Amino acid sequence: MQIKRLIGINGGTFDPIHFGHLRPALEVLNALHLDEVRFIPAYRPVHRDTPQVSAEQRCEMIELAIHNQPKFKLDRIEIELGGPSYTVNTLRALKEREPDATFVLMMGSDAFAKFDTWHDWKGILALANLVVTHRPGEPMPSEGEIGRLFHQRWVPNLTQDAGQILDLPITQLDLSATALRSYLSHGDSVDYLMPESVARYIKEHQLYQ
């Protein structure tokens, strides 16, 4: 089959967005020759606390952060869907909206290690391919359900619309939104950890104090 539009799906809470989200997304975009990467903020993440900041403000920060990269797009689909944000529902809705697109769900190796606990993970693989990002040289899973899945589905290049798994070594920055929220709440500098425009927005709106 021929892959048409190849779209990377980068989901998260983005509370707030930082360089640890942006640099890996750029490396995946370039390595897989994606047509675009969609940043999809969760409306109500399933496995964690409700974000501190409104969905609208998280979107505004994403927009500021991706402004200079035309292939990065904000997609409000999980906010429009409302309710708890299950990836399988998001992909179903995306597929309905864009039946000709091929979706590649981006996730870190830590998330992939628990992928078999995700709600309807088989449904996810029926709708999208996966790209598992990891530190260079980090071993990929070889045991258990995830090891088997990786072994069965791994491909060097995507050739199908869904169900294939790629892995990609990327530059990982030891950075999390949790750490950034902690810096911000203590009044510490977040320079060089997130785009300046986002830091300015946070200051102006007095977020994460």
Report if residue 12 touches ligand ATP, rule: CB under 6 A: yes
Residues with Cβ within 8 Å of 201's Cβ and at least 6 positions away in sequence, in order, are 60, 61, 64, 207
- Enclosing H/E stretch for 183: helix 177-185
Q: Is 8 in the site for ligand ATP (CB under 6 A)?
A: no
CA angle centred on 176, ends 174 and 178, rounded to 5°: 140
Interatomic CA distance for residues 27 and 171, integer angstroms:
8
Q: Quick check: 31 binds ligand ATP (CB under 6 A)? A: no
The DSSP output letter for 103 is: E
Specify the residue, 140 or 175, whose C-beta has the smaller distance to ligand ATP: 175
Q: For ligand ATP, which stretch binds (CB under 6 A), given 91-99, 107-115, 161-169, 194-202?
A: 107-115
Q: Does 20 bind ligand ATP (CB under 6 A)?
A: yes
Query: Minimum distance between the CB of residue 152 and ligand ATP, rounded to whole angstroms?
Result: 22
Q: Which of 24, 161, 194, 201 binds ligand ATP (CB under 6 A)?
A: 24
**Which residue, 6 or 53, has its beta carbon nearer to ligand ATP?**
53
Q: Is 21 in the site for ligand ATP (CB under 6 A)?
A: yes
Residue 178 touches ligand ATP, criterion: CB under 6 A: yes
Q: What is the DSSP string of 25-48?
A: HHHHHHHTT-SEEEEEE-SB-SSS
Read off the tokens for 33.
């020759």
Closest separation in Å from C-beta 157 to ligand ATP: 22
129, containing H or E segment: strand 129-134
Taking Cα atoms as reference points, which of 102, 120, 99 lies closest to residue 34? 102
Residues that bind ligand ATP (CB under 6 A): 12-15, 20-21, 24, 107-108, 111, 172-173, 175-178
